[in-house]
A and B are shown apart, each in its own frame.
Chain A
Amino acid sequence: MVSAILFYLFALMILGGAVLMVTRRNAVHAALWLVVTLLGVAGVFLLRSAEFLFVVQIMLYIGGVVLLILFVIMLVNLDAEARQPRFHRQWLLALACAVVVGAEIVYVLLSGLEAFRLAPAVTAVQTGGSTERLADVLFSEYLLPFEIASILLLVAIVGSVVMAKKRI
C-alpha cells in the first residue's frame, strides 16, 4: 500500500517535471524541473530495491549532468532565446498526435499487463544485496556489452574533442 502510494508520487514527479521542463520559457527553470524528473526516477529505482542505481542516478545525473547544464546556461546569454516563441504553430496538432499515441500505448500495455515476467526484486537476504548482484552480472554475463560501452565512451570523448577544438 505504502509502496503503491510512493510509486504514484514518484510517477507524478517524473511526468509533471518532464512536462514543466519542456514548457518553461526560462532555461534555468527548465533545468530545475529536470532535477525533479530525475529525482522521481531515482525514487522508482529505490522502490525496486536498486539502491546502487538510486545513488548513481542522484550523483551522476543530478550532481553531474544537470549541474553542467546549469553552468552552460549561466555562461551562455539566453535572453534573446527566451524571447523567441516557445512552440511551433502546429503544436496543437503535435499534442493531438502525442495524446493518441500515448493512449494507444497505455491501452496496449494494460491489455497485456499480466504477460510481463519481471524477475522479483532482489533483496539483501537472498544474494547479499542488489549492488553486489549487479556487479556480479555486469562482470560475468554482461562482460562483453560492458566493454563495448567503454569503446562507445571513447568515441564520444574523441568526437567531442574533434568537434570542439580549434586546432587538432
Chain B
Amino acid sequence: MSQYYTSTDHFVLIPALMLALFGCAVLLFDFLIFPHPKQRKWLIVFLIIGEIFTGAGLWRQQSFLSSYGLNELTAFNGTLTIDGFALFFNWLFVLLSVLVAIVSYRYLEIENEHHGEYYGLILLAQCGMFFMATGTDLITLFLGLELTALSFYVMVGFLRTQKRSNEAAMKYLLLGAFSSGLLVYGFSLFYGLSGSTKIVDVADALAAREPGDPLVVLAMAAVAVGVLFKVSAAPFHMWAPDAYEGAPTTITAFLATGSKAASFAFLMRIFLGPLESARPTWEPLLIGAAVLSLFIGNIAAVTQTNVKRLLAYSSISHAGYILLGLIAGNETGLIGVAVYVAVYAFMTLGAFLVLVALRRRDLIGEDIEDLAGLMESSPGYAVLMLIFMLSLAGIPPTAGFIGKYYILLALIQTGHYTLAVIAAVFVAVAIYYYFRIVRAMFVSERKETAPLASTFGIKVALAVSGVLTLGIGIYPDPFLRMAGFSLIR
C-alpha cells in the first residue's frame, strides 16, 4: 500500500480485481486444467466462484456504508465512487452474468463453438461494467465503456463460421467505434472547459458558465449522441436489430440486459453529474430521442417475424421509457429508472432464454412460427414466456407494470402530461406485437415435434427470471426499497 494505492482504494476495487483475476484465470484454466472440450462446462462453476468473490466484495462495501451511515465512499482521489447507485447496478451485473453463463453450454455446443474464452470475456465485460457504474472520472468511465464494448464485439461475432454473426460483429464494431469517437470528442471539450477529468470538477466548471453556453451545448450534444448510441435509443438504434439477430442468442440476452443497464448507469453518471446544470439544454434533445425511440421501436416491431429482431425493437422502445424517467428527473423518476432498468433486464433475459431453449440441432428456433403450439409441447416454457410477454407489455401483476407505473407517475408529477399520454398510447401498440407471440404459442397448430434443448442451467435461469418478474410485480416493496437506496445523492 502506498500513497497512490491506499487500503481504501483496495477495498473499493476488490470486485473489479476479482472479475479481472477470474477472467484471466478462466482463460488459463481453459487449456491447463480442462483441455478436453467436454470438460469446459466446469469453467462455469469457476465463473460462479468468481462471482461469489465479487459479490462478497460488494457485500462488504454495502455493509461498510450502512454501518457507518455513509452515502458514498470515494477512492483513487475521486476516480471511483461506491454509493447506492453503484452497488445496485453491480448486483444486477453479477446476477445477469451468472444467469447468462449457466445457460450457455448446450447452446454453444449445438453451435459447435464452445470455447473457454467465452466465459473469460463475460467476466472481463462485467469488469468493464463495474467501472461504468462506479467510475466518477471521465477517463475511467470511458475505459470501462470500451472494455465492455470490446468484449461484446468479440462475443457478438463468436459464431465464427456464420456469416450473420460476423456481419453483426462488424457492424457493431464500426458503429460502436464511431460513436465512441464522438463521445471522446465531447469528453475532450469537458476537459478543456474544466481542466480536470474528475466528474465533480467538470460539474462545477460547467455550472459556472451561463445557461445555453454554445460550448456546453456542443460538448453535451457530442456526449449525448455517443451515449444514446450505446443504449440503442432512436435515431441511433440502427445497429441494434442486426447485432441482436446475428449474435449468439445467449450473448444477445447479455447485450440487451447487462450492456444496456451499464450504459444507462453511464448515462446517469454523466447527465446527473457534469451535465445536471445544463438540464434545460439537454431536456429537449432527450425528449426527442425518447419519443422517437417509442415510435420507431414500437412501430417497427409490429412487422417483425424474427423474435430476436422483434425483441430488439422492443428493447429500443424500452430505452425510450427509461429516458422518460430521466427527463422527469424528480425522485420518483430516478427511482423509476433504476426499477425499470432492473425489471427490463429480468424480463428481457427471460424472453431470450426461452429462445435459447428453442435452438436445437436442426432448428434455429428464432421465428414466431417456431413458437407455434409451444403450449402443447412444453407448457412450462409457454407459461413462462407468457409471463415475460405480459411483463414486457406492462400488464399487472407483473414487474413490467411497476416499471411503467413509476415512469408515468413521475411524468405526471412533473407536469409532462403530453409525454405521459404518448407513453401510455404506445403501451397499447406494444400489446399487439407481444400478443402475436402469445397467440402463436397458445392458438397456432403445433408444427415442430423435436423436444426443447432444455438443460439444468436453462431451467434454473428461467426459474430465477420468472420468479423475479412475477415476484416484483406481486410484492414490490423490498425491491423498491433497494431501488430507493440507489439514488445518486
Tell whether, in the assembled complex, residue A116 and residue B192 are in contact, meaning their CB atoms are under 8 Å apart. yes
> Cβ of A155 and Cβ of B140 under 8 Å apart?
no
Q: Is the CB of B121 within 8 A of A155?
A: yes
The reply to whether the CB of B120 lies closer than 8 angstroms to some CB of chain A is yes
Interface residues of A in 50-107 (CB under 8 A from B): 104-105, 107
A142 to B5, CA, bound (A): 11
Q: Which residues of A contact B124 (CB under 8 A)?
A: 151, 154-155
Closest residue of chain A to B192 (Cβ to Cβ) is A116
Q: Do B192 and A159 touch across chains, with their CB atoms under 8 A apart?
A: no
**Residue of chain B at shortest CB distance from A151:** B20
In the bound complex, what is the Cα–Cα distance between A117 and B193 (angstroms)?
6
- Please tell me if the beta carbons of A162 and B150 are within 8 angstroms of each other in the complex: no
Minimum CB distance partner of A107 in chain B: B214
In the assembled complex, the Cα of A143 lies from the Cα of B137 at a distance in Å of: 12
Give chain B interface residues in 22-56, CB to chain A under 8 Å. Answer: 23-24, 27
How close is A101's CB to chain B, nearest CB, in angstroms?
10
In the complex, chain B residues whose CB is within 8 Å of the CB of A111 = 214-215
A162 B195 Cβ-Cβ under 8 A:
no
Rounded to whole angstroms, the CA-CA distance of A117 and B195 in the bound complex is 6
Instruction: Give A152 to B142 CA distance when docked, in angstroms.
Output: 11
Which A residues, 100 to 154, have Cβ-Cβ distances below 8 Å to chain B? 104-105, 107-109, 111-112, 115-119, 139-145, 148-149, 151-152, 154
Find the B residue at minimum CB distance from A167.
B115
A69 to B27, CA, bound (A): 29
A148-B144 contact, Cβ under 8 Å, with A140-B4, A154-B24, A158-B121: yes
Q: Please tell me if the beta carbons of B143 and A116 are within 8 angstroms of each other in the complex.
A: no
User: Nearest CB to that of A111 among chain B residues?
Assistant: B214
Contact B215 A109 (CB under 8 A): yes
Contact between chains at B195 and A118 (CB < 8 Å): yes
**A162 contacts which chain B residues (CB < 8 A)?**
115, 117, 154, 158, 160
Q: Closest approach, in angstroms, between the C-beta of A69 and any C-beta of chain B?
A: 16
When C-beta atoms are compared, the residue in chain B nearest to A162 turns out to be B117
Interface SS majority for chain B: helix
* Binary CB contact string for chain B from 135 to 170 against chain A (1 if under 8 A, 0 otherwise): 001011001101100110110011010000000000
Residue of A109, A144, A151 with most partner-chain B CB within 10 A: A144
Contact with A along B174-218 (1 / 0, CB 8 A): 000000000000000000111100000000010001000111011
B3, B127, B137, B150: which has the most chain A beta carbons within 10 Å?
A: B150
Q: Does A2 contact B (CB under 8 A)?
A: no
Interface residues on B, range: 35 or more
A163 at the interface (CB under 8 A from B): yes
**Count, chain A residues at interface, CB 8 A:** 31
Instruction: Tally inter-chain residue pairs, CB-CB below 8 A.
Output: 93
Q: Which of A107, A118, A148, A168 contacts B143 (CB 8 A)?
A: A148
B80 sits at the interface (CB 8 A): yes
* Residues of chain B with a CB closer than 8 A to A159's CB: 121, 150-151, 153-154
Check B213–A112 contact: CB distance below 8 A: yes
Interface residues of B in 1-28 (CB under 8 A from A): 3-5, 9, 13, 20, 23-24, 27
**B76 touching A143, Cβ below 8 Å:** yes
Interfacial chain B residues near A6, Cβ < 8 Å: none
- Bound complex: CA of A89 vs CA of B243, how far in Å? 26
> Of B4, B23, B209, which is within 8 A of A143 by CB?
B4
Please tell me if A15 contacts chain B, counting CB pairs below 8 Å.
no
CB distance from B211 to the nearest CB of A (A): 14
Could you write out 30 A-B pairs with CB less than 8 Å apart? A104-B218, A107-B214, A109-B218, A112-B214, A115-B192, A117-B192, A117-B193, A117-B195, A118-B195, A141-B4, A141-B77, A143-B4, A143-B5, A143-B76, A144-B80, A145-B79, A145-B139, A145-B143, A148-B140, A148-B143, A148-B147, A151-B20, A154-B124, A155-B150, A158-B27, A158-B154, A159-B151, A159-B154, A163-B154, A168-B115
- Leading 10 A-B pairs by shortest Cβ distance: A159-B154, A112-B215, A108-B214, A148-B143, A117-B195, A145-B139, A116-B192, A108-B218, A140-B4, A144-B76
Known: A144-B140, A145-B139. 8 other contacts (CB 8 A): A141-B77, A144-B80, A148-B131, A148-B140, A152-B147, A158-B154, A162-B115, A162-B158
